[in-house]
A = this chain, B = another copy of it.
Amino acid sequence: MDWGGTMPTHATFLVSAPDQPGLVARLAGFFYELGLNIVDASNHSDAYAEGGLRFAMRLVVDLAALTSPKAAGLLSGNATRRALEEGFAALVTALGGTWSVGYDDVRPRVAILVTKEASCLYDLVLRQRSGELPCEIPIVVSNHATLEPVAEGFRIPFFALPVDAATRPAQEQQILALLAAHHVDLVVLARYMQVLSEGFLAKAPPIINIHHGFLPAFQGARPYHQAHARGVKMIGATAHYATSDLDQGPIIEQDVARVTHGFGPEELARVGRDVERVVLARAVRAHLERRIVVEGRRTILL
């Protein structure tokens, strides 16, 4: 939404819980009783979750009235964000669910991991600079030095950490240390051409990867060459959360572009890069806006 002049401060709550009567009313009612206005809300009951019907809801709440006497009274006189979170946590716990929250005035910090290809890196940084991606980009990390000038051109600290089979454990420790030191909330693999270990994935923040193929087709290496050999008529790209099963993580966004028999692998790659950038940017934006609920191998986008 376009808010004209000053943007009020919003909190975005994301909830997932076993489906049960009254969920919408009770979650919305929590904020209603506090006098906080819900400026956007959406929910979904997923009939295909393992373990039965599963409910997810996203609520964007205007915090302007948080310091009203009414809210303060209900929050034991202490109208802080922490008190609000504690109250909400109590409700969600009673419903058997999980939740998270983000605030408009606290920008998530995103680390970008790259190898040699500049296209996605430029794209993400330019979108962040233009305000399309509401985040900070404190660091760019690569296993090569190729893209140092790009990062430096935008005055983003760049770390080149070469890696081979022998040095992988140590290199991953270095990356984890950088992520921790820079308070990174999200890692984006913008054509980072290295497999990450299970140990790394367990310790890192959420990771979004762009796969340059229309998963689940063309898993693994050189997907454009695979696509060419198979003679496909459309080229796709898939953004997904990275998991220890390579190319098997929950899909966030996909798109395709039409190609013809006249396109060789290099031209498929060229067309594919346009798709990759848009798909990756949409996925990162959805994550930053706290719209994504992971449900097994699937994602719900609210």
A35 to chain B, nearest CB (A): 7
Determine the chain B residues whose CB is within 8 A of the CB of A301 once the complex forms.
260-261
A99 at the interface (CB under 8 A from B): no
Known: A48-B228, A258-B258. A2 touches B215 (CB 8 A): no
A47 touches B153 (CB 8 A): no
Interface-central residue, A2, A233, A253, A274, by most chain B CB under 10 Å: A233
A203 at the interface (CB under 8 A from B): no
B231 touches A250 (CB 8 A): yes
Determine the chain B residues whose CB is within 8 A of the CB of A214 once the complex forms.
214, 217, 234, 236
Q: How many copies does the complex hold?
A: 4
Please, how many angstroms separate the alpha-carbon atoms of A158 and B231 in the complex?
35
Determine the chain B residues whose CB is within 8 A of the CB of A233 once the complex forms.
251-254
Please, how many angstroms separate the alpha-carbon atoms of A177 and B165 in the complex?
58
A31 at the interface (CB under 8 A from B): yes
- Pick from A10-18, A118-126, A168-176 the stretch touching chain B: A118-126
Please, how many angstroms separate the alpha-carbon atoms of A121 and B27 in the complex?
45
Known: A132-B270, A231-B251. A21 touches B37 (CB 8 A): yes
A105 at the interface (CB under 8 A from B): no
Interface residues of A in 204-254 (CB under 8 A from B): 214-218, 228-234, 236, 250-254
B39 touches A32 (CB 8 A): no
List the B residue with the shortest CB-CB distance to A283: B233
Contact-size category for A: 35 or more
Please, how many angstroms separate the alpha-carbon atoms of A26 and B236 in the complex?
39
Partner of A216, one of B126, B132, B217: B217
A145 at the interface (CB under 8 A from B): no
- Pick from A88-96, A180-188, A194-202, A292-300 the stretch touching chain B: A292-300
A156 at the interface (CB under 8 A from B): no
List the B residue with the shortest CB-CB distance to A35: B21
Partner of A299, one of B45, B215, B231, B258: B231
List the B residue with the shortest CB-CB distance to A62: B21
Partner of A298, one of B218, B250, B261, B281: B261
Determine the chain B residues whose CB is within 8 A of the CB of A21 once the complex forms.
32, 35-38
List the B residue with the shortest CB-CB distance to A275: B278
B126 touches A2 (CB 8 A): no
A7 at the interface (CB under 8 A from B): no
List the B residue with the shortest CB-CB distance to A292: B261
Residues on A facing B (Cβ under 8 Å): 1-3, 21-26, 28-29, 31-32, 35-48, 118-119, 122, 126, 130, 132, 153, 214-218, 228-234, 236, 250-256, 258, 260-262, 264-267, 270, 274, 278, 281, 295-301
